[in-house]
A and B are shown apart, each in its own frame.
Chain A
Amino acid sequence: MGFDRRARDFWPRIVAAILALVGIGVTVYLVWERYHGNAPVCALGGGCLTVQRSEWATVAGVPVAILGLVAYVGMLVCALVPRQIAALGSLFLSLLGVMLSGYLTYLELFSIHAVCEYCVTSAVVVTLLLVASVIRLLWLDAAMPDPDA
């Protein structure tokens, strides 16, 4: 674990770690809001509360925000570990996150009819994480030619 400035994947990992921390912040807030945020009123256009209370806010009873938090923690660990397997793990988690964020954004727009700015932030963060993951793999690939090729 650690960051070596000379490593080719140094910058993608740094960027991924920062983005993962932002994602952790957003999802921790959403989890906290879900369990403590008893909004006193139903305001017109209260997007986040509407989304959080929708039946799409859970998967098999587990809040989506918790799944997101677990994924971001996983992505942070992958960013911290200077291994090929971690780079692949980062690609897996960020790609999964982008697909599920896209699905959830579709639900917000066309089923829930409300948009939560934190969910949008998370979608942007995970998309950037996917970009960082791809760049990391590409740079690693360039540094370490495939022995089987």
Chain B
Amino acid sequence: MSQKRTIIGVIIAAVVIAGVIIAIQQAGNSSSTDSKYAAKFTAGYPVVSKMLSGIPQKGQVLGKATAPVTIVEYMDYKCPVCGAASSNLVPPLIQDYVRTGKAKMELRPIHIIQGNQSETAALAGFGIAPQNKLWQFSELIQQNQGSEVDPWLTDGVLTDAAKTVGADVGTWNTARASQAVATEFINTTNAFQADTSAAGVQEATPTFIIKGAKGSQVVQGDVPEAQIAAAITQVGG
């Protein structure tokens, strides 16, 4: 075989193998439907329901209004670290501090991940809060997240989540499209920027602001519960 033929053969082989690799990758990434999430929500809801059962909920606030410490959580529905915190950090916090009346938690959805789905989801969250279902809705979605870069959080998926948590979907649809909810979302975004700026931390999610009689502390990320516990102690909890 001549030298040139060998080189041409090598080039053809590289092109064919590159094509095969691309085809394998694309074939593996073509299954993402609303029904997939509906099934995940149905399967995952008992965990969320059990975690929140018996705890008072009013609007965005979970826990007793008289709790001495407030833990504000700024989150984005598509942020994977928020999803991890929802599975790892939030359940023990609820069990150890909210359920016992030592603290209450306030959920504040914002939009930080690229694309417009996080904003639509945040509006959906604010829209469901008046039905006192925000925590069920949010934890259900976050514990069953898709990839932050995939367009999985469709309106159909949001509706499936609202139905799964037992919300009045008609009322929710009206609320999430309202000017009041849009204003609430903008105000929350502004508060997030002000809070992170005041604390000297980057605008990132999840951001937990722990407030008590002795001041406030800021913790970011899917941290161990002990880190939040230390902050609670520092603010007088």
Q: A interface vs B, CB < 8 Å?
A: 38-44, 50, 53-56, 58-61, 67, 88, 91-93, 95-96, 99-100, 103, 111-114, 137, 141, 146, 148-149
Closest chain-A Cβ to B185's Cβ sits at a distance in Å of 17
Contact B25 A59 (CB under 8 A): yes
Closest chain-A Cβ to B195's Cβ sits at a distance in Å of 14
Minimal Cβ-Cβ distance residue in B for A134: B7
Q: B1-34 CB contact bits vs A (8 Å, 1 = yes)? A: 1111011001101110110011011001100000
Closest chain-B Cβ to A47's Cβ sits at a distance in Å of 10
- Of the candidates A50, A61, A91, A96, the one whose C-beta lies within 8 Å of that of B17 is A96
B202 contacts chain A at the CB level, 8 A cutoff: yes
B-side interface residues, number (CB < 8 Å): 42
On chain B, the residues within 8 Å of A61 by CB distance are: 28
B205 contacts chain A at the CB level, 8 A cutoff: yes
B220 contacts chain A at the CB level, 8 A cutoff: yes
- Of the candidates B1, B25, B149, B223, the one whose C-beta lies within 8 Å of that of A40 is B223
Contact B203 A44 (CB under 8 A): yes
Contact A60 B24 (CB under 8 A): yes
B215 contacts chain A at the CB level, 8 A cutoff: no
A91/B7 contact (C-beta < 8 A), A41-B202, A41-B221, A100-B21 known: yes
Minimal Cβ-Cβ distance residue in A for B75: A42
B103 contacts chain A at the CB level, 8 A cutoff: no
- In whole angstroms, what is the CA distance A77 to B21 when docked? 23
Q: Which of B39-47, B59-67, B76-84, B120-128 contacts A (4 or more CB under 8 A)?
A: B76-84
Contact A149 B2 (CB under 8 A): yes
B53 contacts chain A at the CB level, 8 A cutoff: no
- In whole angstroms, what is the CA distance A88 to B80 when docked? 43
Contact B81 A96 (CB under 8 A): no
- Of the candidates B1, B15, B114, the one whose C-beta lies within 8 Å of that of A114 is B114
- In whole angstroms, what is the CA distance A47 to B37 when docked? 26
- In whole angstroms, what is the CA distance A112 to B112 when docked? 15
- In whole angstroms, what is the CA distance A39 to B202 when docked? 13
B73 contacts chain A at the CB level, 8 A cutoff: no
